[in-house]
Chains A and B, each alone.
Chain A
Amino acid sequence: MEQYSMNLTLKVWRQKNANEQGRFDTYQVKDISSEMSFLEMIDVLNEEMIREGKDPIAFDHDCREGICGMCSMYIDGRPHGPWQNNTVCQLHMRAYKDGDTIVIEPWRANAFPVIKDLMVDRSSFDRIIQAGGYISVNTGSPVDANAIPVNKDMADASFAAAACIGCGACVSACKNSSAMLFLSAKVTHLALLPQGDPERRSRALKMVAQMDKEGFGACTNTGACEAVCPKGISIENIARLNREYLAAGLVAE
């Protein structure tokens, strides 16, 4: 595709901290290359603001290659912007044309309080993992191949769930601010492998309890989470989590 440049209008959510009221500010950006990433476009705006002595827009980013899950932006009514299976850092400006107006908001959920501007605190996800998203014993150094038989289909399903980068797009898209897609990916990832099997029951119970404590909503199977997940995590995992939770809850003393 031919490279082109564009002028854009950005409406960006600005908020000093979690306690202050936020508002939208409008910015004009000029000569943006279609080959820039979305974050690079904001870098350009921020550098200009710094030169002018203004407060730059705070946003999260780390790897800029679509695997860290830090860039949490809700762009024009969709988490991570208009492209499918994509993070904001991998959204490129060729998705836009000259004269477009783009509205950028942070993830909105009580469990993800805004730290500043477009940055939100996602440590609630960390606490859900800490509640049971691990294997308690050291599994040691790698064993010989095929020493523990693992069904290929199970290994693939587990790996597909393990692709979750914990970005929080599922929560931001869900009308109930539910973290069930995230949680179900973590539970599935471990439950389908022999190493995770012994703790699968207590894990599901502990992680759901922590999710409820963090103030996420309940799942109503609308499917919005699956549609926006940058890693294509399937909503089937949520049904598996429901099954794991019920099986555990019905027999737990």
Chain B
Amino acid sequence: MKWSELFTSSVGKKVIMALTGIFLILFLIVHVGLNATIWAMDGGEMFNKGAHFMGSNIVPRILEIGLFAGIILHIVQGLMLEFQNRSKRKQGYAVAMGNKGSKWYSRSMGVLGTLILLFLVVHIADFWLPNRSNQGFLLGEEINLYDKMQEVFKQEWVVALYLLGCFSLAWHLLHGFQSAFRTFGVSNKKYLALINCVGIGFSIIVPLAFAMMPVSFYFGWV
């Protein structure tokens, strides 16, 4: 069996979703951890140091390429799977099954993912793009990202959009976290219970911490 056959089968496609999903979950840990330094109450000094390391050191900058590759693969594969799966039932039901047997968010991964994608476009245009273009997309001088956050999060609609992004992320993670492990083949009840617990905790804590960032700036808490 060729690699191409393995990863284009229905199970293989799900493995790609799970692998990239876990990779993006790991990225979220780094991202939320670094950004939490805005609450160091030092006028953004520690935050800018962290941002400077991520933006000027060659290692995180190379990893950044991997991150974009992972995000794009997750999005493209996810959208393709969503459309392929939908096409498998040309004639739909008159009476929908709804929540009889499955949770709404487990059936809405495509919609939730698309909302996150829309948020990501705005988010990248807000911070990553102006910073990297200032650097000439190489290792040039960065902008003051803490000041930039203060400026961006003055607008109500931006804060609202970021909250919507975090809300979508929470539901997306609530299904995605444990589903990824099932795709890898974890069927042991003991481990599944543990994964469920950690998944629920992660899906609440990480998006909540992210959501508090624009809120903190908007209300002038930092």
Contact = CB atoms under 8 A, between A and B. Distances in A.
B96 A77 contact: yes
A109 to B, nearest CB: 5
B92 interface: yes
Contacts, number: 151
A177 interface: yes
B85 A222 contact: no
A211 to B, nearest CB: 7
B10 A212 contact: yes
A78 interface: yes
Contacts of A111: 88
A249 B11 CA distance: 10
B184 A226 contact: no
B96 A239 contact: no
A176 B6 contact: no
B101 A223 contact: yes
Contact of A205 (B1, B88, B103): B1
A239 B185 CA distance: 4
Contacts of B84: 217-218
B185 A240 contact: yes
B57 interface: no
Contacts of A110: 87-90
Given A235-B182, A243-B187, 5 more contacts: A180-B10, A218-B84, A222-B103, A245-B11, A252-B1
8 contacts: A217-B85, A222-B101, A222-B107, A227-B101, A237-B187, A242-B185, A243-B184, A246-B11
Interface of A: 11, 13, 22, 24, 74, 76-78, 103, 105, 108-111, 173, 175-178, 180, 205, 208-209, 211-212, 215-228, 235-250, 252-253
